[in-house]
Structure 1
Amino acid sequence: MIGYILISLIILFSLVILFSGIFTVKQQTSAVLERFGKFRTIRNSGLHFKVPLIDQIAGRINLKVQQLDVLVETKTKDDVFVKLKISVQFQVIKTNVYDAFYKLESPHDQITSYVFDVVRAEVPKMKLDDVFERKDDIAIAVKQELNQAMSDYGYDIIKTLVTDIDPDAQVKAAMNRINAAEREKVAAEYIAEAERIKIVAKARAEAESKRLQGQGIADQRREIARGLEESVDVLNKVGINSQEASALIVVTQHYDTLQAIGEETNSNLILLPNSPQAGSDMLNNMIASFTASNQIGEAMRARNAELKATKEIKSRRNKIQRDQRNSDTDTREEL
C-alpha cells in the first residue's frame, strides 16, 4: 500500500515537472530564456518547451507599438513659459530583443530624458507664435534625436507628435484679447463699409431725385411760359395789347391761387393782398423789376467794355515802349 502511494506521488511529481517545461508566448510578444542565469534563447509566439528546473523565463518583451506621453515645461525666446505635450510612438525591433531586454533598464525614463533635452534645446530658439507654427519641426527634431539614441538599445521610434501647447494662463488671456480686438476691428470695418455704401446709395438717390425734380420744374415753367405766350397771342388777336394782356393774366392767376387756397381745408394761414389793384400792382412791380434789371445789365456791359478798351490801350502803350527800348538798344550796339 505504501509502495503504491509512493509510485503515485513519483508519477504525479514527474507530470508536474514535465508540464512545467511547457509554456506559451502570445502574439506580438517575445520571451527571453535563461539557463542558470545565463541567456540561452529567445522564443516568439506559439507553444514551446524548456528544460524544467534548469531553464527559466527571464522576461517577456512587448513587440506592439507603444505610446509614451511626455509633458515638458520650457521657456520661449520671448520669455513666455509654455507646456508642451510630446507623444512618442515606439516599438521594439524584433531582431533586437536581446538589446532591448539586457541593455536598457527603463526605456520610458530614457525616452523621457531625450525628449526633455531636445525640446528644451529647440523651443528657447523660437518665439511663442513660432512654437505654434513650427510644432512639426519640434516633433521632427525629437524623432531624429530619439532614433539615433534608441536604435542602439533595440528600439525603433515610429513617430513623435506635439499634441498640445499650453502657454501660461495670463498669456492665453492676452492672446484671446488680441484675437477679440482683431475681430472687433474687422467687424467695425465691415460695418463702416456698409454704412458708407448706404450713404452713397442714399446720396445718389437724392441727387437723382433732385435732378428729376429740377427737370420737372423746368418742364413745368417751360409749359407755363408757352401757355402765357399763347394766351397773349389770343388776347392780341381780339384787340388787347401786350400790357393789358399781361395784367389780365396776372389777375387771373391771382384769383386762381386764392380759389385753390380756399378749397384746401388743412392749409396754414397765408396772407395775400386781395384788393382790386392787387393784380395791377404785382404787374407794375414785375415790370419795374425787369426794367431795373435791364438797366443794371446795360451798365455792367458798358463798364466791362470801358475796362476792356482801357486794358487794350494800356497794352498797346506798353508794346510801343518795349519796341522803343529795343530800338535804342540796337542803336547803341551799332555805335
Structure 2
Amino acid sequence: MGNTFCGVIGCIDQASIGVVEKWGRFDKLAQPGLNLFNPFAGEWLAGVMSTRISSLDVRIETKTKDNVFVQLLCSIQYRIVTQNADDAFYELQNPKEQIQAYVFDVVRAVVPRMTLDELFEQKGEVAKSVLEELEKVMGAYGYSIEHILMVDIIPDAAVRKAMNEINAAQRLKLASVYKGEAEKILQVKRAEAEAEAKFLGGVGVARQRQAITDGLRENILNFSHKVEGASAKEVMDLIMITQYFDTIKDLGNSSKNTTVFIPHGPGHVRDITEQIRNGMMEGASAEIKIE
C-alpha cells in the first residue's frame, strides 16, 4: 500500500484505513495521513486496508429449467465500509472466496427456475437477487456491495449452434413466403397484361375490318353511280378480283417469301371472292357487337 512506519510514526495513504491494536486487542482505526503510535503503551499498526472499490469476476456453470447448461460471468463490485473496517479486518480471512460462495449459491438457486430465453430476458433479476443476498450477508462483515453485473451468458456450444440454425431456418421460411408472394403477383400481372393485349388486338382487328368494309362500300357506291347498269354485286366482284391480283403481285415481289402454292383459276377466283365477302360481313358484324 505504500505505507511507511518509522518508530512511533506511521503514514497511511489516501483511500486506505489503518487498524491499530493495543496489547493485541483492537483499539482504533487510523485515518489517512500521519499517525503517531506509542509502542511503550502497547500500540502498533496491525494492518492497512484499502477503501477503494474492488472488482471480483465469478464464472458459474449451472442448468436452466429447459435443461440447457450455461456459464454465467458475474462481476461483483464491492468495497470496505470505513466505519466497519475492523469487522472486515478481523471477521473474514478470505472475503473473495466468501463472496464467490454466496454468488454460486444464489445463482444456482435462481437460474434453474428459468428457461434459457427467460434467462436472457431477465438477467437483471438474477443480478438483483445476488445483490440482495450479498448485501444482507457481507454487510455484517463490514463490506458494501456496490454493483452486480451479469457480464455474459454463454450456453453450450451445441445449443448455440442449434439456436442459430433455428433462426436461419425461420428467416429462410420468411424469405420463401415473400418470394412466393412476389412470383404470384408477377404472374397475375403478366396474365392481366396478356389478356389486355389480346383484347386490344381483337379490337384493332375488328376496327381494321370495319375500315376495309367502309372503304369497299364507298367504292361500290361511287362506281355504281358513275357506271350505269353496274350492280353492287358486280362492282364488289371486280374489287375483290383486283385485290386478289394485287395480293399475288405483292407475294411475287416480296424477297422474304420462297414458294407459295395457291389455287388459281376462274372457279377458284369466284370461291375466293365469296370467302372474302363472307369475311368482311363477319368482321362488320363483330364490330357492331363490340360497340
Common topology (TM > 0.5): yes
In 1, Cα distance between equivalents of 2:277 and 2:162: 80
What's the counterpart of residue 235 of structure 1?
Answer: 223
Q: Which one-letter code corresponds to 1:211 in the other structure?
A: F
In 1, Cα distance between equivalents of 2:185 and 2:173: 18
In 2, Cα distance between equivalents of 1:59 and 1:288: 124
Gaps of 5+ in 1: 1-17, 291-335
Whether the aligned pair in 1 keeps the contact of 2:59 and 2:71 (CA below 8 Å) is yes
Secondary structure of 2:269's match? Answer: helix
In 2, Cα distance between equivalents of 1:136 and 1:288: 90
In 2, Cα distance between equivalents of 1:269 and 1:252: 22
TM-score (norm 2): 0.85
Give the aligned CA root-mean-square deviation in angstroms.
2.4
In 1, Cα distance between equivalents of 2:125 and 2:258: 84
In 2, Cα distance between equivalents of 1:212 and 1:288: 23
Whether the aligned pair in 1 keeps the contact of 2:223 and 2:235 (CA below 8 Å) is yes
In 2, Cα distance between equivalents of 1:120 and 1:263: 98
What's the counterpart of residue 245 of structure 1?
Answer: 235
What's the counterpart of residue 137 of structure 1?
Answer: 125
What's the counterpart of residue 284 of structure 2?
Answer: none
Kindly tell me: are residues 264 and 154 of structure 1, through their superposed partners in 2, closer, same or farther at Cα, counting changes over 3 Å?
farther
**Alpha-carbon deviation of 1:254?**
1.8
**Alpha-carbon deviation of 1:252?**
2.2
1:275 aligns with 2:265: yes
**Alpha-carbon deviation of 1:288?**
8.6
Whether the aligned pair in 2 keeps the contact of 1:74 and 1:124 (CA below 8 Å) is yes
What's the counterpart of residue 66 of structure 1?
Answer: 54
1:161 aligns with 2:154: no
In the TM superposition, what whole-angstrom CA distance separates every residue of 1:269-307 from its partner, at most 9, and x where no partner exists?
A: 4432233443212234567999xxxxxxxxxxxxxxxxx
| Aligned pairs (5 A) from 1:1-335 | 19-52=6-39, 54-237=42-225, 238=227, 239-267=229-257, 269-284=259-274
Q: Which one-letter code corresponds to 1:260 in the other structure?
A: D
Kindly tell me: are residues 63 and 269 of structure 1, through their superposed partners in 2, closer, same or farther at Cα, counting changes over 3 Å?
farther
TM-score (norm 1): 0.75
In 1, Cα distance between equivalents of 2:279 and 2:87: 121
Name the one with the larger helix percent. Answer: 1
**Alpha-carbon deviation of 1:73?**
0.8
Whichever of the two has the greater Rg, that structure is 1
Secondary structure of 1:132's match? Answer: helix
Whether the aligned pair in 1 keeps the contact of 2:240 and 2:276 (CA below 8 Å) is no
Gaps of 5+ in 2: 281-291
Secondary structure of 1:218's match? Answer: helix
**Alpha-carbon deviation of 1:31?**
1.0
In 2, Cα distance between equivalents of 1:22 and 1:214: 115
Secondary structure of 1:273's match? Answer: coil
In 2, Cα distance between equivalents of 1:269 and 1:141: 98
Secondary structure of 1:77's match? Answer: coil
In the TM superposition, what whole-angstrom CA distance separates every residue of 1:103-125 from its partner, at most 9, and x where no partner exists?
A: 22221111111111111111111
What's the counterpart of residue 314 of structure 1?
Answer: none
| Number of corresponding residues | 274
Whether the aligned pair in 2 keeps the contact of 1:99 and 1:153 (CA below 8 Å) is yes
Q: Which one-letter code corresponds to 1:109 in the other structure?
A: E
